């Protein structure tokens, strides 16, 4: 009668099959984590680098298209500065260029587009559609990214009270002077873009500008806003304001 020899195991040693299965599970989990890490890295590279490349190209196109339109359709007649009225643009349409000397590296002939959706902010600054137009009584409110998508407002922390903000349209140049800021806002502080910031329902009497962006720079938990007031207007035919060289 034949006999089958049983495998010899030393006391306390795990069964061979269980050990092999455990290694496979550990290897599989490790591969999953490596894959997730690679995907996270690629997503980070896309958000922090590639969106900047794409948006820089889109901004250049918007600027060229807008300035070409201005050249092709010159202003028929000069209008006194106090009588200028900027027409409401279509949603997503570029209608002005923004210049901030303190942030010249990022904000020089930056297109301002109608709306604040993600696709709009990927092509420059965005105008809150319910806010005033440049030079109008009320609050001309705009927003832009602080990180990703060309990060126009990356250096908003450099701004100081008294800094100038210039808005160029087909008709005129509008100069705003910054007066105060608040870097501790939340996404729910919508009063910052009201006709009279901080005074819901109040009737505006001044011509203001509000600029908003996310904070901290690589987050979106808070908001940073700067406010200013219109201090001068000059028709486009007069050229750029003094000291503002290198304009589009």
Three-state SS for the chain is: CCCCCCCCCCCCCCCHHHHHHHHHHHHHHHHHHHHHHHHHHHHHHHHHHHHHHHHHHHHHHHHHHHHHHHHHCCCCCCCCHHHCCCCCCCCCCEEEEEECHHHCCCCEEEEEEECCCHHHHCCCEEECCCCCCCCCCEEEEEECCCCCCCCCCCCHHHCCCCCEEEEECCCEEEEEEEEEEEEEECCCCHHHHCCCCCCCCCCCCCEEEEEEEEECCCCCCEEEEEEEEEEEEEEHHHCCCCCCCCCC
223 has catalytic annotation: yes
130 has catalytic annotation: no
Match 């942030």 to its residue by tokens: 103
Among 63, 123, 146, 214, the one annotated catalytic: 214
102 has catalytic annotation: no
Among 63, 145, 146, 149, the one annotated catalytic: 145
How many whole angstroms separate alpha carbon 136 and alpha carbon 208? 8
Residues acting as catalytic residues:
145, 214, 223
């Amino acid at each position: 009668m034949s006999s089958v020899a049983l495998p010899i195991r030393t006391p306390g040693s795990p069964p061979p099959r269980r050990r092999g299965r455990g290694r496979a599970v550990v290897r599989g989990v490790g591969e999953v984590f490596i894959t997730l890490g690679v995907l996270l890295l690629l997503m980070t590279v896309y958000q922090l680098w590639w969106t900047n490349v794409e948006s820089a190209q889109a901004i250049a196109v918007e600027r060229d298209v807008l300035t070409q339109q201005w050249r092709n359709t010159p202003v028929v007649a000069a209008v006194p500065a106090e009588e200028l009225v900027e027409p409401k643009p279509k949603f997503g349409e570029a209608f002005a260029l923004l210049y901030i000397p303190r942030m010249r590296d990022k904000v020089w002939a930056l297109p301002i587009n109608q709306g604040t959706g993600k696709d709009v902010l990927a092509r420059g600054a965005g105008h809150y559609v319910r806010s005033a137009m440049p030079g109008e009584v009320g609050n001309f409110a705009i927003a832009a990214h602080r990180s990703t998508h060309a990060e126009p407002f990356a250096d908003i922390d450099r701004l100081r009270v008294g800094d100038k903000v210039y808005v160029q349209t087909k008709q005129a140049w509008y100069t705003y002077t910054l007066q105060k800021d608040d870097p501790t806002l939340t996404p729910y502080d919508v009063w910052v873009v009201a006709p009279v910031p901080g005074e819901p329902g109040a009737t505006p009497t001044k011509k203001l500008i509000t600029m908003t962006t996310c904070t901290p720079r690589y987050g979106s938990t808070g908001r940073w806003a700067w406010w200013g007031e219109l201090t001068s207007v000059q028709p486009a035919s007069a050229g750029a304001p003094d000291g503002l060289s290198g304009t589009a």
